[in-house]
Structure 1
Amino acid sequence: MSKLAQLAATASAPPCCPSLTDRELTDEEAEVTAAMFKALGDPVRLRLFSKVASHPEGEACVCDIADVGVSQPTVSHHLKKLREAGLLLSERRGTWVYYRLAPSVLAALSGLLTTRD
């Protein structure tokens, strides 16, 4: 597991950070948050993340989300980057890998950008 994945896995729930208007981020929070946004900054990764997030069953087989206009090895590379950033979780079932959002990741990212009163 990469250092980044370890940081994302050990961050308190929700898995990221407080609102940017609450207080300054710590070095660790900034590192985790930057990695998440960096991973989502690629159009192919953002599409893959969106496909998993919007999948009706709450998780998606790689066979169902690989149609993003790039080769299968490139899809696997991008999914790995999303996992390393703490955005996706994966589980192998037979020959297929299934992906789902990491718990509370959307709430954490939206909470980061929300103004608190």
Structure 2
Amino acid sequence: MTAARLTDEDAATYAGWFKALADPMRVRLLHLLAGELRPMTVGEITEHLPIGQSTVSHHLKTLAEVRFVLAERHGTSTRYEVNTACLDCFPAAVRAILGRP
């Protein structure tokens, strides 16, 4: 069985996803949000990681750009949560890259 051809657009999207996950702290941050199962502020996230708020914000921006996390404004603060669509999309992307149905 031959797998579907990987389009240039899909390859670029998937490369962006892996680039966003190429930093161990972003992986830890995503793991934290996934484990909490609730939106969190930057301050709450900072309490759980050994980095400052500006660094957390930078990592969240990177993860939000590829839609791994979603940001929701609440007045003057923003809460971040895992994009649950990633639970389906990311494994499918890995299968596509590896040529698996």
The counterpart of 2:3, out of the listed 22, 26, 31, is 22
Which of structure 1's runs of 4+ aligned residues deviate more than 6 A? none
- TM norm structure 1: 0.70
Greater C-alpha Rg: 2
After superposition, give the CA deviation of every residue in 1:48-92 in whole Å (9 maximum; x if it has no partner): 1111111133x2232221232112111100100000112111012
Describe the shift of the 1:84–1:56 C-alpha distance in structure 2 as closer, same or farther (beyond 3 A).
Answer: closer
1:40-55 correspondence runs (5 A): 40-55=21-36
Long gaps (5+) in structure 1: 1-20
Larger RCO (alpha carbons 8 Å, 6+ apart): 1
The one-letter amino acid paired with 1:109 is F
Long gaps (5+) in structure 2: none
Query: Is contact 1:83–1:89 with CA below 8 Å preserved after alignment?
Result: yes
- How many residues get paired? 95
- TM norm structure 2: 0.80
